[in-house]
Amino acid sequence: MLSEYAVIIVTGGSSGIGKAFIEHAWRLNPEVVICNLSRREPVEFLGKLNARQVTVDLADEAALARAAYEVLAHVRMTGPKGKVMLINNSGFGGYGRVDELGRKHQLEMVDVNVRAVVDLTSRILPALRERGGAVINIASTAAFQPTAHMATYGATKAFLLHWSLALREELRGSGVHALAVCPGPTSTEFFKRAGLRQGAVTERWGQTADQVVLESLRALARERTQTVCGWGNWALASFASRLPKPLAARVGAALLMKFRASRVGAGEDTAGGGGDGVKGGGAGGTSPVEVGKG
């Protein structure tokens, strides 16, 4: 299926899920040109003639506009044939109350998790319509219920999920497919940067970035509109989404507070950040309705 693609554009490909997408893409299609938008160049890019690093802070609107222009130039250089894939992967979060995390931190979160996705997709969409392709948006299981103690993060992922589903309907029949991917806790740098101890993602609840990517590619091949990675995450997300929203918020707040108390490292700041987009690399899903998850 990836053999049809001439260009794959990834945000936050230096680590986590974004890095795993790059590795799988080249394994399945060694000729595909990959454009990575992040603050760091992935190690996988070294020595690769078909690698295009676009260094950018996704929270900077002007810098993102310049980066999108550069990416479109790379797309044109590949010729008129071959599909284009955009993977909106960069995102970051933070554990704590709204007044703990601070205004600037949360506004940057909105910029990276929401505004940058809409901005970049809008700029790349004409090329996608012209050549065909796909938009993969990495949301989260946090999108299915209110997430007290991660209020802004969960709300950004709820926006991304619903925006992606609506985009899919708008693109129906255009030759461009949109897929919302909702991982649960994933073994990426997300949790460390959110102030949690090593081992916060256990084998019982968590997935690897490779597992998330494989499920995403299978869902894309089947032209799915949405996929929740892992059957346990699917069951818990389904349960959470059926609860009345006030009840889901109350239950989730209690569970996440309990989890946070057991997982936050001593003396560590609970505000998440650091990585590819502006304060975060690959997106790691979280859902307080899921016991033992972060």
Query: What number is the average pLDDT over the span 289-294?
Result: 27
- Let me know how long the chain is: 294
pLDDT at 126 over 70: yes
Collect all residues with Cβ–Cβ distance below 8 Å to 182 and sequence separation of at least 6: 139, 140, 141, 143, 144, 161, 226, 227, 228, 229, 233, 237, 285
Quick one: pLDDT at residue 1?
A: 80
| Model confidence at 261: pLDDT above 80 | no
283 within domain boundaries: no
* pLDDT tier, 281 (very low <50, low <70, confident <90, very high otherwise): very low
Mean pLDDT throughout 46-55?
Answer: 94
With H, G, I as helix, E, B as strand and everything else as coil, classify residue 291: coil
Catalytic residues, by residue number, are 153
- CA-wise closest residue to 283 among 9, 15, 23: 15
Tens of pLDDT along 214-249?
A: 999 999 999 999 999 988 887 888 888 888 888 888
CA distance 160 to 138: 8
User: Which H or E element spans position 207?
Assistant: none
Task: Return the residue matching tokens 């703990």.
Answer: 100
> What is the DSSP-derived secondary structure letter of residue 186?
B
pLDDT of residue 259: 66
pLDDT score of 210 more than 60: yes
Q: Are 142 and 180 in contact (CB under 8 A)?
A: no
CA-nearest of 197, 156, 123 to 279 is: 156
CATH number at 251 reads 3.40.50.720
pLDDT digits (tens, 9 = 90+) for 78-111: 988 999 999 999 999 988 899 989 999 999 999 9
How far apart are the C-alpha atoms of 287 and 294, rounded to whole Å?
A: 6
In a domain, 95, yes or no: yes
257: which 2 tokens? 């507070």
Tell me the pLDDT of the chain averaged across its residues. Answer: 84
Entry pTM? 0.85
Among residues of the chain, what percentage have pLDDT more than 90?
65
Q: Is the residue at 272 inside a domain? A: no
3-state secondary structure of 205: coil
Task: Tell whether 232 is covered by a domain.
Answer: yes
Residue 76: count of CB within 10 angstroms of its CB:
11
277 CB neighbour count, 10 Å cutoff:
33
- Say how far apart CA 257 and CA 263 lie, in whole Å: 10
Q: Which domain holds residue 82?
A: 2-263
Judge whether 26 lies within some domain.
yes
**Integer CA distances (angstroms), 262 to 111, 198, 222, in order:** 30, 12, 39
**Strand ranges inside 116-242, DSSP E:** 133-138, 176-182, 226-228
Confirm whether 249 is domain-assigned. yes
Establish if 291 belongs to a structural domain: no
| Total number of domains constituting the chain | 1
> Which pLDDT score is estimated for 244?
87
User: Does residue 91 belong to any structural domain of this protein?
Assistant: yes
Identify the CA nearest to 85 among candidates 61, 47, 120, 58: 120
Confidence grade of residue 264 (pLDDT, cut at 50, 70, 90): low
